[in-house]
Amino acid sequence: MKPHTGFYPVLFFLSVFLCPVGGAAQESRPVPLGLGALGGLNGSSGNPAVEDGAFYVEGQMEIDLTGPFSLLGTAGCVYTSGEGHAGFPVNLYSLCAAVKATLSPSAHFRPFVAAGPALFYYDPEKKVDQEDALMTFGGVEYAGTEYLLTRHWKIAALAGIALTGSDVARFPLSGPRSAFRASVHLGTSVGLFFRF
């Protein structure tokens, strides 16, 4: 049977015009995952164990959701020198999951805000027993801006506030352990991010 040659022009048309369109759609598809590291300074109010100006490091993972929104996961640590009222280093570790909203997602210069719940762990270097470490829940809020260097790399500068609890009677480690109150941590940091 003789093949139907009338289909050849149709196939040629589809290959010429639809393939570039599909390639462009694939090229403009947003990258769903990013990893970053930040460093900065932390200040504390209401927590006598963590002194102002303590060094802070944080790792972040960002997953795009839809439009300007993304999911942000962070893990950080505040390193203290022991100059607070405790008289010895008390490190503060944190885990956070936040929703991030980027104000101009298609621009190179992109302000953003983020907020979400967090878990905090106070770990004093000097312990009488394991109960002297403290785990507590709280929340964090971020505001900052990021600048796209290339398709895969960006830098970010941000300021954040963390609301958490602190058992002030534990520092120093003596007396009843019932004085619990809220504390506020303020931080500023800069970092570098890579998007896959």
Q: pLDDT for 121-160, tens place per residue?
A: 877 776 655 556 677 888 899 899 999 999 899 999 999 8
Cβ neighbours for 195, distance < 8 A, ≥ 6 positions apart: 31, 33, 34, 151, 152, 153, 154
- In CATH terms, 31-195 corresponds, of 1.10.10.10, 2.40.160.20, 1.10.3720.10, 2.60.120.10, to 2.40.160.20
- pLDDT of the residue at 50: 64
21 class by beta-carbon count within 10 Å (0-12 exposed, 13-18 middle, 19+ buried): exposed
Q: Where are the domains of the chain?
A: 31-195
Cβ neighbours for 196, distance < 8 A, ≥ 6 positions apart: 31, 32, 33, 34, 35, 152
Higher-confidence position of 54 and 114: 114
Question: Structure tokens of 86?
Answer: 């405790």
Residue 40's H or E segment, with its range, is strand 33-45
Query: 146, 160, 158: which is closest to 193 by C-alpha?
Result: 146
Q: Are 177 and 168 in contact (CB under 8 A)?
A: no
Max Cα distance, the chain (Å): 98
Share of the chain above pLDDT 70, in %: 63
| Cα-only R_g, the chain | 25
